Each structure stands twice: as structure tokens, then as C-alpha cells.
């Protein structure tokens, strides 16, 4: 094919591609089109030739970097010193990125590439893989690592969020919820189980599965005196519960669930549940979460574990003689 011949064949341009308009160093005879594609927020340019398929533009694909604020939800070791990270971000949802050489002792990436770390990550795309170029650790939520219950609750919250966060979709509200939950689990004074219960209520709201609380899910009547809790839909009035089933629940528990769904994220650390309300929330919300979210996180098991450890602590506190030494 002689040079310039392609100009006579505009109808052959593949959809979404434009004729190569630049006078770059392509040999005459190439039948080439150019396409700009949104990638990591930057434009990458490809050149397509009918004879050779996709060929890169001069100097290869345009590589650009992008900055994201993210929380490391998962870190798997890879090769000798690399790690594959799952980052939860507000602007780009869930991202899978590779941190090369981050496990070397002198690596600048070492501190920011561990689970639960929150930081600023500079990413670059190389051959279709997103690679961490730089990272700056902002918060590592250190105290999660010093207390098993805090760690247990934080892991459950992080796993559940990782499962529902979509790749490439902005997830500002879920990200803010995860951030505040980790912060209060790490540095707050409330029992981890209460913070996790509050997380679950807020999480169910975001996922679109909020349980009915003070009004019957079926008929909208008040559940104040005759409230039952059904694991499929939440609160039911006495009449509806006769047909659909449901276990007895204290009005205070339903009211607590309603309030936890509404309080500001910055107040999550103030949630302190009375013992009977906590017990009912653990039992009912755990089963409700597991039934609706189909998650790998067995939330009712985690909640029961955390609740049992509080009871144990209370018992020990009443009888100081139980402490060793």
C-alpha cells in the first residue's frame, strides 16, 4: 500500500478510533488509526495498524502517573520482595496494584504497604499493571496490632468493605466509613464490638439493605410495644410477625439501631451500648448481615467472639483475684 492511500478509505476506520493525523515517524504504507483511552485518569494513546494490529506510538504507550489516597485492605507477598496490594480508595474504588521491591529492608515503600495502612500512593501503569511508584504513609492505625479484639473487628470491617467496593467506581461514603471505623477501633475507648455493630448498621444502609427499625417493615405500624425482629426484613409489628415470624426484641434495641444508622461518622466512637441491647444487636444484626450480604466474613461469629471476650473481661474485673500475679 502506498503512502496516503489510507486517506481514501475513511469508512474502514474502526469505531472509536480516529485517523492518525500526526506526521510522526510512521513509515508510509502503514494504515494507522489513533485512539486515546482513559486509563488511571490519564490519557493513553494507542496506534492501530491494519497490518500489524495495535502498535504503540513513538516511544511506546504514554505512561502517566496518578495519585490516590487509599487504605491497604490486603497485601499478598509476590516473588522475592514484591507485594500485590488491594487498595480501597474514595475516588477510584478498589484497586489492585503491585509494589515492587517493597519487602526489601531499605525500600521506601516498606512502611506504607502493610494491611490497614492509610496513605498517599503514586501509581503508574506499566504493561497494563498498576505499579506503586511512591507512597507516603499517613496513618498506620498502630493500636489495632496491639489488641486482638480491635484487630478482629477491624479485619471484619475491612473484608466486608473490600467485598462490596467496586473496581474503578467512586466510593466516597464507604471509604469514609472504613476510615472512621478503623480510627475508632484503633484509638477509641468504646468496646470494639460496639464500634463494629455501628459499622454494620451504617454499612447495611450504604449497601441498600438497612433493616426496618422503629416502624414495621410490612405495614409501617409502630413497633414500640410489640416489636419483633425478622432476619429477612428487620422489625415487624406483632400482627405481621404472627404471619412472617420473628423473635422478640426490646424497643430500646430497635431505637439504638435507628440512631446508629443516623449518627455522624465522627460520633461512631461515642456508641456505648447497654449490655442487653448489645446482646440483641449481636444476635439479630449478625444473622441479618450474614443472610443479606452473602459475605465470606462470618459477621455473627466475629460479633459473638467479641461479645464473649467483653463478658470475660467484666468477670475478671469483678474478681481481681483472677488476674495472674
Taking a C-beta distance cutoff of 8 angstroms, is the pair 258, 204 a contact?
no
Q: Which CB, 216 or 277, lies closer to Zn ion?
A: 216
- What is the nearest approach in angstroms of Zn ion to the Cβ of residue 216? 3
Q: At what angle do helices 275-293 and 299-318 cross, to 10 degrees?
A: 160
- What is the nearest approach in angstroms of Zn ion to the Cβ of residue 242? 10
CA distances from 318 to 62, 91, 109, 189 (A): 66, 48, 46, 20
Q: Which CB, 235 or 306, lies closer to Zn ion?
A: 235
Cell of 121: 500512593
Q: Which CB, 216 or 303, lies closer to Zn ion?
A: 216
Q: Which CB, 49 or 214, lies closer to Zn ion?
A: 214
143: three-class secondary structure by DSSP: helix
Q: Which CB, 219 or 317, lies closer to Zn ion?
A: 219
Taking a C-beta distance cutoff of 8 angstroms, is the pair 39, 125 a contact?
yes
Q: Which CB, 221 or 310, lies closer to Zn ion?
A: 221
Binders of Zn ion among residues 216 to 275 (CB under 5 A) are 216, 218-219, 221, 237, 240
Taking a C-beta distance cutoff of 8 angstroms, is the pair 97, 132 a contact?
yes
156: three-class secondary structure by DSSP: helix
- What is the nearest approach in angstroms of Zn ion to the Cβ of residue 287? 20
β-bridge mates for residue 45, sequence order: 36
Q: Which CB, 222 or 276, lies closer to Zn ion?
A: 222
- What is the nearest approach in angstroms of Zn ion to the Cβ of residue 219? 3
CA distances from 50 to 31, 36, 55, 221 (A): 6, 17, 10, 68
Helix, strand, coil % (nearest 5) of the chain? 40, 25, 35
* Site size with Zn ion, rule: CB under 5 A: 6
- What is the nearest approach in angstroms of Zn ion to the Cβ of residue 230? 10
- What is the nearest approach in angstroms of Zn ion to the Cβ of residue 246? 10
Binders of Zn ion among residues 118 to 157 (CB under 5 A) are none
Piece of the chain touching Zn ion by CB under 5 A; list 46-54, 74-82, 126-134, 208-216: 208-216
Q: How far apart are CA 300 and CA 298, in angstroms?
A: 6
- What is the nearest approach in angstroms of Zn ion to the Cβ of residue 285? 20
- x/- mask, Zn ion, residues 162-201, rule CB under 5 A, reads ----------------------------------------
List of residues contacting Zn ion (CB under 5 A): 216, 218-219, 221, 237, 240
Amino acid at each position: 500500500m502506498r503512502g496516503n492511500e489510507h486517506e481514501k478509505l475513511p469508512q474502514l476506520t474502526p469505531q472509536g478510533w480516529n485517523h492518525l493525523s500526526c506526521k510522526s515517524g510512521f513509515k508510509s504504507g502503514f494504515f494507522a488509526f489513533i485512539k486515546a483511552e482513559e486509563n488511571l485518569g490519564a490519557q493513553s494513546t494507542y496506534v492501530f495498524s491494519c497490518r500489524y494490529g495495535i502498535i504503540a506510538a513513538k516511544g511506546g504507550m504514554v505512561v502517566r502517573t496518578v495519585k490516590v489516597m487509599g487504605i491497604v485492605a490486603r497485601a499478598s507477598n509476590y516473588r522475592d520482595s514484591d507485594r500485590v496490594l488491594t487498595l480501597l480508595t474514595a475516588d477510584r474504588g478498589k484497586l489492585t496494584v503491585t509494589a515492587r521491591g517493597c519487602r526489601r529492608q531499605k525500600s521506601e515503600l516498606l512502611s506504607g504497604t502493610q494491611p490497614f495502612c492509610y496513605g498517599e500512593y503514586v501509581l503508574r501503569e506499566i504493561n497494563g499493571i498498576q505499579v506503586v511508584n511512591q507512597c507516603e504513609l499517613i496513618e498506620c492505625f498502630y493500636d489495632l496490632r496491639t489488641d486482638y479484639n480491635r484487630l478482629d473487628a477491624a479485619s471484619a470491617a475491612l473484608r466486608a468493605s473490600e467485598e462490596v467496593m467496586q473496581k474503578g467506581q467512586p466510593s466516597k461514603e464507604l471509604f469514609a466509613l472504613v476510615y472512621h471505623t478503623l480510627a475508632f477501633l484503633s484509638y477509641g475507648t468504646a468496646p470494639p464490638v460496639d464500634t463494629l455493630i455501628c459499622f454494620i448498621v451504617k454499612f447495611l444502609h450504604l449497601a441498600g439493605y438497612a433493616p426496618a427499625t422503629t416502624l414495621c417493615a410490612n405495614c409501617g405500624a409502630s413497633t414500640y410495644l410489640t416489636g419483633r425482629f425478622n432476619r429477612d426484613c428487620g422489625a415487624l409489628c406483632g400482627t405481621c410477625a404472627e404471619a412472617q415470624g420473628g423473635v422478640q426484641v426490646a424497643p430500646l434495641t430497635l431505637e439504638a439501631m435507628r440512631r446508629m444508622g443516623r449518627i455522624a461518622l465522627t460520633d461512631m466512637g461515642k456508641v456505648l451500648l447497654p449490655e442487653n441491647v448489645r446482646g440483641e444487636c449481636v444476635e439479630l444484626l449478625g444473622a441479618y448481615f450474614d443472610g443479606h450480604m452473602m459475605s465470606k466474613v462470618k459477621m455473627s461469629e466475629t460479633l459473638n467472639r467479641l461479645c464473649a471476650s467483653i463478658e470475660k473481661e467484666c468477670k475478671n474485673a469483678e474478681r481481681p483475684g483472677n488476674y495472674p500475679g
